[in-house]
Amino acid sequence: MAFSFGNSGGAQAGNAGGAASGPELETIATEELGFLSVAGEAKVRLTSLWSPLPTPTASLLGVASRRGLVAAAGPDHVILATTESVRKALENPKEGESEIRSFQPQLKMPLPMRVSQLAFTADENYLILSAETGGGLAIYEVQSLLNGSTSSVFELPTNGESLRLLAPNPTSEKAELCAIVTTNGNLHMTNLKERKISNVLKSQVSSVSWSSRGKQLCAGLGDGTIHQMTPEGEAKAEIPKAPNLGNHHVSSLTWLENNLWLAIYTSNDESAPSSVYNIITRTPPSSFSFQKISDPIEPFGAEKAPIIQSSG
């Protein structure tokens, strides 16, 4: 997917000072590890089929592991079910030649619009939805949904902008915080406790990742740089663009440790966008090493790909 905020893609300033290419990480291939299917080829369809398909940045599945719940958005509804019921549905008998098993969720909530974003808060008390057209946030209390209510607790507007992503804080202690990024690249912070959305904290944002303790977050930008900040918007650090990259944005970002990130840079080429994977290591205060890793799931290459491929 091409990504553009006007002239953001051409910026090259992020390559200055403190950025160096490190050795590429070794690729290790093995067939000794693999994932075990729960029920062979059996599948469960959680919602009805989407037509047309959702937007490329849509996130339509959420799991509340402690409660044992799964939520999924269909084209005109959201379902809520127990993870146990989904697992048991995989054991249902086949209907004809199809491997898709019948499934009835505990709750099916009709909606008048298509959803593009869905997520549980870290404390699993709330389910957040955002519409594909017009954005906004609708916040539902999970316990009320389990009791049969389908009314939202409250809603918050996003100035008519749809969302590229929503990223709840990963900790129960700060579960009221949720970062949102609009399709125009504006980063805001939502406070569910105060029922408000902040002004724009950063523009030209293409991806977001929280720290493991939820005290800070990093925003990947359209020009390939990364901005480290507090939830209030206070700048803490700038991570330069990976060396020798052209017109790329940070399409995905994972903050692994205090000084370690996985960043995926995707070209802004409309016809054939490609991605580059980098492990970023910071040597405080401001030196950065970028080590390329191969795409672990490339859709081409050897006739029989190894079951597990890693870099180390």
Alpha-carbon distance 116 to 54, whole Å? 7
Alpha-carbon distance 296 to 312, whole Å? 12
Instruction: Tell me the two tokens of residue 177.
Output: 């915080």
* Tokens 């592991």, located at residue: 65
Q: What's residue 4's pLDDT?
A: 57
Residues 6+ apart with CB under 8 A from 272: none
- Using alpha carbons only, give the angle 20, 271, 114 rounded to the nearest 5 degrees: 100
Q: Is the pLDDT of residue 12 over 50?
A: no
Go through the domains of the chain in sequence order and give each one's CATH number: 8-311 (2.130.10.10)
pLDDT band at 5 (very low <50, low <70, confident <90, very high): low
- Model pLDDT for residues 239-271, shown as the tens digit of each residue: 999 998 889 999 999 999 999 999 999 999 877
- Model pLDDT for residues 77-114, shown as the tens digit of each residue: 999 999 999 999 999 888 888 999 989 999 999 999 99
**What are the backbone dihedrals phi and psi of residue 86, each rounded to the nearest 5 degrees, phi first?**
-65, -45
Give me the percent of the chain exceeding a pLDDT of 70: 89
Report whether 191 contacts 201 (CB < 8 A). Answer: no
Report whether 284 contacts 259 (CB < 8 A). Answer: yes
Q: Of 134-148, 176-190, 203-217, 290-304, which gets the smallest average pLDDT?
A: 290-304
Q: What's residue 30's pLDDT?
A: 72
Q: Is the pLDDT of residue 63 over 50?
A: yes
**What are the backbone dihedrals phi and psi of residue 306, each rounded to the nearest 5 degrees, phi first?**
-60, 150
**What are the backbone dihedrals phi and psi of residue 9, each rounded to the nearest 5 degrees, phi first?**
-65, -20
pTM reported for the whole predicted model:
0.86
Q: What's residue 29's pLDDT?
A: 73
Alpha-carbon distance 45 to 28, whole Å? 35
Residues 6+ apart with CB under 8 A from 107: 79, 80, 81, 145, 146, 148, 150
Q: Is the pLDDT of residue 126 over 80?
A: yes
Q: Of 37-41, 64-68, 212-216, which gets the smallest average pLDDT?
A: 37-41
- Using alpha carbons only, give the angle 192, 165, 269 rounded to the nearest 5 degrees: 160
Reduced to 3 states (helix: H, G, I; strand: E, B; else coil), residue 257 is strand
Q: What's residue 177's pLDDT?
A: 99
Q: Of 186-195, 266-275, 292-301, which gets the smallest average pLDDT?
A: 292-301
Instruction: Tell me the two tokens of residue 244.
Output: 């020798």
Q: What's residue 41's pLDDT?
A: 86
The Cα diameter of the chain in Å comes to 63
